[in-house]
Amino acid sequence: MTAAPEAEDLLTPLGVGRGSLLAVVGAGGKTTLIYRMAAEARRRGLCVIVTATTHMGSLPQSVTGPLVLAAEAGAGPALGLALEREGRVTLLGERVRDDKIHGLDPAQVDSLLEQADLVLVEADGARSRSLKVPAEHEPVVPSRTSHLLVLAALDVLGHPLGEARVHRVELVAAAAGKLEGQTVDDDTLVAALRQPAGYPARVPAGAVAAVFLNKPETDDARAAAARIAPRLIPPYARVIAGSARGGPLQVWG
């Protein structure tokens, strides 16, 4: 299997458009990737809501667009006004710290499809690490999810299997048949993403599942992406490699 020609727009190879609810899970750049897709959606003229079912850190409004907190008085009118004026809004639950805001209940996220063309939801946590296998209670995926995108960052390759770069180390180690401290290689990453009881088991009925391999920033990382991507199809329909921050993408599947 060979990679398709390079693309710039992430929404097109994912098949995401008007009426989609995309849940982003995994590790290694979810928030950055979501706001890249929100910007792409606006360039298409789509009205977009960004939200979360876990929590998000505080980001500047230049990134998030207008921020509406559902727990505050007047949230409903504020959401409608922000969508009318800006075409995009970040909707979260309540602020628990200056740097931490709770997300929404999954049922609340489902209802947002009535108010926007596209809903993008961060539905998993990874404590800023690059790779994970989800625990039984993760991710928190809304029932109306049409697309599930699983992230892993290629900067984990070549490093020890440990807390510095891997979330839920014990689950990744078990999936890969490795011991903590051994080197993370292609097989480790593939095993983590293919773990039958992991992300493949969390895809809602009828949803399309894909993988985004973030940070192919060196020749070695790009070569690794080309080796890894075909090994992930199936269970995933598509694999995309590129920087969450922007730039060209390689697509398999």
Pairing between β-strand 238-242 and β-strand 249-252 as defined by DSSP bridges: antiparallel
Q: Among all chains, which residue has been given the structure tokens 């490795």?
A: 178
pLDDT of residue 97: 84
pLDDT in tens, 179-237: 999 999 999 999 999 999 999 999 999 999 999 999 999 999 999 999 999 999 999 99
pLDDT of residue 96: 86
pLDDT of residue 4: 54
pLDDT of residue 5: 52
- Fill in the DSSP letter of residue 53: S
pTM for this structure?
Answer: 0.96
pLDDT in tens, 101-139: 999 999 999 999 999 999 999 999 999 999 999 999 999
Separation CA 213–CA 198 (nearest Å): 17
Residue 171 near residue 132, CB atoms below 8 Å: yes
CA 188 to chain centre: 20
Arithmetic mean of pLDDT, 35-59: 94
pLDDT of residue 3: 52
